[in-house]
Amino acid sequence: MNTADLGYDGKVAIITGAGGGLGRQHALLMASRGALVVVNDLGGAVDGSGSDKGAAQKVVDEIISLGGEAVADTNSVSTPEGGEAIVAGAVKAFGRVDIVINNAGILRDKSFHNMDPSLMNPVFDVHLKGAFHVTQPAFVLMREQGYGRIVSTSSAAGIFGNFGQTNYGAAKMGLVGFTRVLAVEGAKYNIKANAIAPLAL
């Protein structure tokens, strides 16, 4: 199939961390192919501190200006309640959830001998636990409707290693195991799961 033929008309896509960078590109692409997009982004700094509700809305405005449909969501993926709220918001806005792209992320880099829980736990909470928190309530809906697509953003830092990123690398490789199990469990319900591992220089 030619990629130009890939369409998502009427499919509802939740994209976390979609207020900028790779997540924004996911959102714009999905919208251009007809998806109804939930642009989730807390709008915090790279280390996860703070928030800016405008980040998600800017991407929504961009999608709408290009003729697409989207809504902003500023819940945090780092808690079960946040994940449930993101999925509930998608259902409220568009009636269903078909696609989840786990892309939210933060960085708290430090060499391993200086790593401590304040640097490790928040990274796990957003990257790995965040994927659990958003995907699990969506997966329940996907099973019921017999359709779902899940994409999680891993990283070359986990596969090959990168100085100062034991926390990030471990969380990102955790997403690979998470994805493989979802693919097995989702197969008979027409739920497909994949992980991507971008490398930026």
Long-range contacts of 170-175 (CB under 8 A, 24+ apart): 170/124, 171/123, 171/124, 171/127, 171/128, 172/127, 172/197, 174/124, 174/127, 174/128, 175/102, 175/127, 175/128, 175/131
CB 67 within 8 A of CB 124: no
Per the residue annotation, which of 8, 147, 168, 189 is the catalytic one?
A: 168
- Active site annotation includes 147: no
pLDDT at 131: 98
pLDDT in tens, 19-65: 999 999 999 999 999 999 999 999 877 766 666 778 999 999 999 99
- According to the model, what pLDDT value does residue 134 have? 98
Low-confidence ranges of the chain (pLDDT < 70): 1-5, 47-51, 200-201
Q: What is the pLDDT of residue 26?
A: 97
Which pLDDT score, from 0 to 100, does residue 104 have? 96
> What is the rounded CA–CA span in Å between residue 94 and residue 55?
21
Residue 48, pLDDT score: 67
191: three-class secondary structure by DSSP: strand
Calculate what percentage of the chain has a pLDDT beyond 70: 93
> Would you state the pLDDT for residue 198?
85
Query: What is the reported pLDDT for 199?
Result: 79
Tokens of 24: 């924004």
For residue 1, the model assigns a pLDDT of 44
Confidence (pLDDT) at 53: 73
pLDDT at 51: 63
Question: Measured between alpha carbons, how far is 131 from 23 in angstroms, rounded to an integer?
Answer: 14
Q: What angle do CA 2, 20, 159 make, to 5 degrees?
A: 70
Res 4: pLDDT: 58
